[in-house]
Structure 1
């Protein structure tokens, strides 16, 4: 065999191996679309589109599916849905734990964002209810009436999030015997539109505020300080100030998790590693939400800008 022939054979062998490796890499993840769930608040739409675009950069097919925040677990258990990018410790822990206990849903780890959701009031309301932020101040009929509206007087009005968000605010009011009526906003946008209107008029308002979000930075105010959450508060009525009822405490604080169908790791192993690696912090998310909700940019524009500015972060997530 001549030297030239040997080089050709070795070259062909190396080419074949390269093609085989490429074929293997290409076949690593299924061509079926990875179904990412969309919910009804801006930050979640941003997180999900960021993940979707990164997965597409890796060659995956992606499909976005509108889904209920808590009811989505039925679809995640069956594999009809694949990935939910935000499950908040504050509101979704029980549903997430129940789903992961089946073995059909997996916790893909933290997003890097820390969740806080609680009753919030503007600073200008403090003079009308000087015991705040201590929750016991809300039991004073005069304080409750300061937060009332024509539809709730003499009870105070608490504007909760959409009912699909969970949060146990109706149960909290009853367990802590608060003279407040819970009114649920229809949408995330309606919640913050009402805050904007009240703040401009210096009108009374007590509502659900969450972080990461632009609202706690834009408006001066405080979160109510309820008895600190423990799992026993939600699960054991004997715990806390009300011996007969659960939920006599505040909401939990903590991680925002990524969760999904347990079959993702086998069907899309590359995507699975990228989803687990995904991380972003509260400040980054707050800035992007501000760009969308206050500065008129689209989710598409904001996520494209983040992708372009952060190649050094997300490329390693997909092995590039």
Structure 2
């Protein structure tokens, strides 16, 4: 291009465009694939696909290995088999995060944005059958428990917990609080919410693990059970709480949702690392995107691509 016939201002602008470094010119720093973990619930996989799609726009190669939620923190990310994971809930992964931090081989990249809440939840139509709710002590009444029972658990109530990989200590909670309930673990996240939808449509009894951020608390009218508030001592010291011989006699913790990376990401892919560190998403946005997948039947890839196309200015700023 010959710039001598252009005005001084135009020539300066063109020269600056060639001389000013940009994230897009610098990336990718390595052609090796960045491996972003997929887990067994919708929102985390949406965040993974959005993050991966943005990195692909910047020229990176991205892979999406399926991983175990908790062990990925202490094995996959520590040894570099995984590069990045987008959601570790302080509510359920707190202990694994402490163990991961202690290795010195991972890095907490900060909060994703939404606050995590996970607890026992029931539809509003069940309250007339157990009028003491949401107080957890209502569940100790055999009549209340029977109202939540199914043929496989009667006379005990049935509590549908998350997949066993999520932990959550529901089996221990039932014992320590003396609840006449049987814990049944869902095989998958999708199966758990399919069962909720079926029960809700039939006004059938159901008590299950509901978490937020998620579209379910907005779609279905109901309440979380109010257990004794969580404290660290409740989980670690049996002498704490109403049952002085057992731990977990309280509700689940609330807290942040964190992003984690393999420690080597910062040096190997510094622009991608910057994007991951700056990545944030709003609770309502994440709930709506999850609903597009679980309720509208869209693929996570299509939903992620739609968000990326509509929010170019946002994700470009993450790389600056």
Query: Paired residue for 2:98?
Result: 97
Query: Paired residue for 2:29?
Result: 29
Are 1:148 and 1:157, in contact at CA under 8 Å, matched by a contact in 2?
Answer: yes
Structure 2 residues not aligned, in runs of 5+: 5-14
Describe how 1:223-242 pairs up with structure 2 within 5 A: 223-242=224-243
Structure 1 counterpart SS, 2:253:
coil
Structure 2 counterpart SS, 1:78:
coil
Query: Paired residue for 1:64?
Result: 64
Give the superposition deviation at 1:45: 1.0
Structure 2 counterpart SS, 1:244:
coil
Give the superposition deviation at 1:309: 1.0
Are 2:24 and 2:58, in contact at CA under 8 Å, matched by a contact in 1?
Answer: no
1:46-92 deviation per Cα after TM superposition (whole angstroms, max 9, x unaligned): 01000111111222211110001112121111111111100011111
TM-score of the superposition, structure 2-length normalised?
0.91
TM-score of the superposition, structure 1-length normalised?
0.91
Are 2:234 and 2:248, in contact at CA under 8 Å, matched by a contact in 1?
Answer: yes
Structure-2 separation of matches of 1:159 and 1:28: 45
Structure-1 separation of matches of 2:53 and 2:62: 8
Query: Paired residue for 2:42?
Result: 42
Structure-2 separation of matches of 1:27 and 1:300: 23
Give the superposition deviation at 1:26: 3.6
Give the superposition deviation at 1:24: 11
Give the superposition deviation at 1:30: 2.1
* RMSD (Å), alpha carbons: 2.2
Give the superposition deviation at 1:296: 1.8
Residue 119, structure 1, aligned to residue 120, structure 2: yes
Query: Paired residue for 1:209?
Result: 210
Are 2:118 and 2:252, in contact at CA under 8 Å, matched by a contact in 1?
Answer: yes
Give the superposition deviation at 1:29: 2.6
Distance 1:318 1:37, change over 3 A: same
Structure 1: 4+ residue segments shifted above 6 A: 18-24
Paired residues in the alignment total 306
Structure-1 separation of matches of 2:23 and 2:182: 61
